[in-house]
Amino acid sequence: MRGYFFVALLALALAEISAIGGNHLPEAALNLNERFFDEVRELIKRRMESKPLPLAGDEVALQNQRSYDNVPIPAANVPVPVLVENWPTDQHSFGQVTAVSVDPEGNPVIFHRADRYWDVNTFNESNIYYLIEYGPIKEKTIYVLDPKTGAIKTGWGSEMFYMPHGMTIDGHGNYWITDVAMHQAFKFRPFESKPQLVIGKRFRPGSSVKHLCKPTSIAVATTGEFFIADGYCNSRILKFNAAGKLLRSIPQPPEFLSLQVPHAITLLEHLDLLCIADRENMRVVCPKAGLKSSHGEGQPAATIQEPDLGRVFGVSGYGDIVFAVNGPTSMLPVRGFTIDPRSETIIGHWGEFKNPHSIAVSVNGSALYVTETGTNHQTNRVWKYVLA
């Protein structure tokens, strides 16, 4: 690209030097002498000093990116989660509520384990699920709730899953689900028992590009591309196109990014960032998602790691910020965090929890939901916040 502009300047130099000479260059000028080149160099130097050469497309994008990188979000523009008391109005008897998402109509949707629990006897040393013989969970594992009252509107997902973990609902209402026992990720149309797309081999953990091992979470872009956090064993992120073709693995050489249990992921599409709850490294990291262009992929990720953050279990993007929840970590408070990836800082704290596992924000930003996992229906619950 810069060569093109050099040629343009050279042509301009020929024209201006010709004008200075008062007439057209003679044929002998085809054998350009040193004095002519000196004049060209001097003219180009003057032109570059007065007006820098235009940048190529990727360089323009990078320069524009720098114009808003590292600029903190004004405090007045940061929504504050405020707890909605006495929500839900009725007590539910959920199992471990491992995931929450919000459908396009604004309904919170939960994914729970019913009577199943993950403990030391659930998997063997090779990550094989011990309890296959018990079959899938007989109860409905997915419930759609009323956003006003928290009452159950409808449910589905019985006889389908063995050990629920992650669930994301995209802008078209598709359900993206991970099951750590099956070592698979699925895309479903609402209330359908047959998946449209399956990634991973059923009950066969592995580290090849065709296998998953206890996948945790899925993030879906408006472009149709999606990312799977693969998860407890492989500690990697896999990026696919809308048809399920693998595009990229994160990290990959020469990318310097070591993940330890990427437990949840979310997209900030405006910033072209994929933010990861890097649980055992006790941080949130946001590498480039590569949705707009491959430029920047593999560059150092934005990293948020502060002393009070602890083990991060859930992340959810809203605008240019990330809401996150940590889990029990030594003596640290278990609570919610508001994170600004651009300045790589925590800009707010909120809530008080015991064992949160997931978090989701409604598309219009009116509500935020947090789920907790426990040992009974009183500790397996969903909290609702409004964003003020």
Q: According to the annotation, is 165 in a ligand binding site? A: yes
Q: According to the annotation, is 263 in a ligand binding site? A: yes
Q: According to the annotation, is 202 in a ligand binding site? A: no
Q: According to the annotation, is 211 in a ligand binding site? A: no
> What is the spatial distance between Cα 289 and Cα 361, in angstroms, rounded to a whole number?
20
Task: For CA atoms 335, 214, 163, 330, give the dihedral sign.
Answer: negative
Both tokens of 297, joined, read: 């992929």
**Site of tokens 């009725």:** 90
3 state SS of 186: strand
CB 151 within 8 A of CB 144: no
**Site of tokens 């309904």:** 107
Q: What is the DSSP letter of 301?
A: P
> What is the spatial distance between Cα 301 and Cα 53, in angstroms, rounded to a whole number?
30
> 47: part of which helix (H) or strand (E)?
helix 34-50
Q: According to the annotation, is 113 in a ligand binding site? A: yes
Q: What is the DSSP letter of 234?
A: S
Q: According to the annotation, is 129 in a ligand binding site? A: no
Selection from 233, 365, 222, 382 nearest residue 314 by Cα = 382
CB 96 within 8 A of CB 374: yes
Q: How many CB atoms lie within 10 A of CB 290?
A: 19
Q: According to the annotation, is 279 in a ligand binding site? A: yes
Selection from 113, 265, 250 nearest residue 180 by Cα = 113
> What is the spatial distance between Cα 245 and Cα 176, in angstroms, rounded to a whole number?
16
3 state SS of 259: coil
Task: For CA atoms 274, 277, 280, 285, give the dihedral sign.
Answer: positive
CB 150 within 8 A of CB 90: yes
Annotated binding-site positions = 100, 113, 165, 232, 263, 279, 357
Annotated binding-site positions for Ca(2+) = 100
Annotated binding-site positions for a protein = 113, 232, 279
Annotated binding-site positions for Zn(2+) = 165, 263, 357
